[in-house]
Structure 1
Amino acid sequence: MKALVLAGGSGTRMRPITHTSAKQLVPVAGKPVLFYGLEAIAAAGITDVGVIVGDTAAAISAAIGDGSVFGLHFTYIQQDRPLGLAHAVAVARDFLADDDFVMYLGDNFLLGGITEVVDDFRTCGNRDAQILLSRVADPTAFGVAELDGTGRVIGLEEKPRHPKSELALAGIYLFTPLIHEAVESIRPSARGELEITDAIQWLIDHGGRVHSSVISGYWKDTGNVPDMLEANRSVLETVDAVQEGYVDEASTVIGRVRIEAGAKVIASRVVGPAVIGPGTEVIGSCIGPYTSVSEDCRIEDSEISCSIVLRGCLVTGVRRIEESLIGRDVEVGMSRRTPAAHRLVLGDNSRVQIPS
């Protein structure tokens, strides 16, 4: 069995972060979300992985290399434009050949991995496809599955206005080579994309055996900032207390806090669950709970909670930051006085809240 990991796409829901970075590389609890999927694939015993990349190919390849660090072997596959999940399967046709495969969306996070479902698919031998489903509050934002009374999949619909169930397709699929005939047989949707839901529906309509599993644990599509912060909170709940960095006697560390090697906590309070990345300095500040600070940051005389701070940030003199995602190499500081006017330089799709 092979794996196909989708690490392309433009990440429009994560802008402005994704103007300069791949959405799959935003860290959850100090580790890029893409890494969790690759580790799950390796744990399931799959080693041959095709990685679909787009405009952010250089950043993705710099982050994950040839796969050896994960115990995997990567074949990079260029998708010139994000024209749908089924289009990604078509682009990867030569790599996939006639093997069964797992398709894993690189910005999806599934707590607990995929080993059980992969083993089940490998051994049962009577399925043409298997989809993972999760109950969600707003199914209109996802592909949605309709099941009959026995749990068999009888219909799929992409982002329906009137969903027939609350069961959303999680971004992990298992296929036999029959999916290629389905992909070749469908046409672009009204969105101009080749939808994987249409391909799976083709299988159903032509007698294909499509099985489903409802996820009992935690799954999240981390394609927007609130979902990324929620995933960060969930993963931080599993963090063990580890102190590899320096904490001085004037500091207090409470609960499950991971302080990476080379980090320094000076005259500060860190409340877990939280992660302080390598090379980061926290000085006279209060961090956490539910906060991950990436490597080589400096947080001084500030308070941050329920947030993700990316690499190389400088935060000084800020009384309170919460529920925030701060991009790489950002500087945040307190104004010396309340301004009569605000001077702003904002990138496309920025979001700014200014007190009245």
Structure 2
Amino acid sequence: MKGILLAGGTGSRLYPNTIAINKHLLPVYDKPMIYYPLSVFMLGGIRDILIICNESDLNLYKKIIGNGEHIGLNIQFKVQKHPNGIAEAFIIGEEFINGENVCLLLGDNIFHSPNLGKKINDCINLRSGAYIFAYPVADPSRYGIVEFDDKNKAISIEEKPLKPRTNYAVPGIYFYDSKVSEIAKSIKPSDRGELEITDINNYYLSKGELKVKRFGRGSVWFDTGTTQSLYSASEYVEIVEKRQGYKIACLEEIALNHNYIRKEDMINYVELLPNSDYKQYVENLI
């Protein structure tokens, strides 16, 4: 399965923090925001990744993460010239997908769960159709909302409804089969001029090919597109890391634990890092 990380946009809701830097490069406590979705790909065994970003930010992304070789990844880049909607990622990335199944992650979404790798394992191994997730929220009118019948089967998905039928939001992690690029090219822009991911989900739903998994208690999801949520995510990461002594979304740690890179190569890489708490943490792992 391929992975697409959508990390473009203007970050207008985080103004003035995003005047000079893309929101996905802002720190979430002790590491850049983009580390967190990359860690989800790595936990799921997805190592071929396309990062879609703004042209003005391309060199910054390459400086921060490069081609991913140092952590056992193969990272490529594509530019999204205009913010034309989440679903455009499958059109921009059609050549990269190349007829394989694909997972799309939004760069400002942070997930943390003690069994996150296991939770997404079924999705990664899908044969056809699509998987999305549902997460209970207090403010459902901000999100795409999924409705279930009395047998716990998804029956509708509505984008930012004024009168939500449930409080189950669809977070920014999606798994699709190889048809998704053709589906994305067939949908029409919404009233706000964007290709909506909800339209793709509703297509699979109409064909009876959409499965929905619920994130239950113990799972944490942050949409860090606002100042408050960005602060809350940073505070959460700080509390967990200080209390338990391990880092969330340490890419080097995941690479070591999953044997994406040899220990000897990691030692050579870490020696080049500047002195910091992060470097010391990785050295202790080695």
Q: Which TM bucket (shorter chain)? A: 0.7 to 0.9
The amino acid of 1:226's aligned partner reads Q
Deviation at 1:180, TM superposition (A): 2.4
Q: What TM-score results when the alignment is normalised by the length of structure 2?
A: 0.80
- C-alpha deviations, 1:4-42, integer Å up to 9, x for none? 001111101111111101101111121112102112211
Deviation at 1:122, TM superposition (A): 3.8
Q: What is the identity percentage for the equivalent residue pairs of Structure 1 and Structure 2?
A: 31
Deviation at 1:152, TM superposition (A): 1.8
Q: Answer yes or no: is the 8 Å Cα contact 2:189–2:195 preserved in 1.
A: yes
Q: Answer yes or no: is the 8 Å Cα contact 1:179–1:203 preserved in 2.
A: no
Residue 99 of structure 1 corresponds to 100
Q: What TM-score results when the alignment is normalised by the length of structure 1?
A: 0.65
Residue 219 of structure 1 corresponds to 221
- C-alpha deviations, 1:139-161, integer Å up to 9, x for none? 11111111222222221111111
Structure 2 residue runs without a partner (length 5+): 246-273, 280-286
Residue 353 of structure 1 corresponds to none
* CA radius of gyration, larger in: 1
1:122–1:58 distance in 2 versus 1, CA, 3 Å? closer
1:208–1:180 distance in 2 versus 1, CA, 3 Å? farther
More helix by share: 2
More strand by share: 1
Q: Answer yes or no: is the 8 Å Cα contact 2:67–2:74 preserved in 1.
A: yes
Residue 14 of structure 2 corresponds to 14
The amino acid of 2:101's aligned partner reads D
**Partner SS state of residue 4, structure 2:** strand
Please give the root-mean-square deviation of Cα atoms over the aligned residues, in Å: 2.1
Q: Answer yes or no: is the 8 Å Cα contact 1:41–1:114 preserved in 2.
A: no
Q: Provide the rounded CA distance (Å) in 1 between the counterparts of 2:15 and 2:120.
A: 34
Q: Does 1:196 align with 2:193?
A: no
Which of 218, 233, 236 matches 1:234?
Answer: 236
- C-alpha deviations, 1:187-222, integer Å up to 9, x for none? 0000100001011112222x1411111112110000
Bigger RCO (CA 8 Å, 6+ sep): 2
Residue 39 of structure 1 corresponds to 39
Superposed counterparts of 1:235-314, under 5 Å: 235-240=237-242
- Residues matched between the structures, number: 247
Q: Answer yes or no: is the 8 Å Cα contact 2:44–2:124 preserved in 1.
A: no
Residue 144 of structure 1 corresponds to 145
The amino acid of 1:145's aligned partner reads V
Q: Answer yes or no: is the 8 Å Cα contact 1:42–1:70 preserved in 2.
A: no
**Partner SS state of residue 74, structure 1:** strand
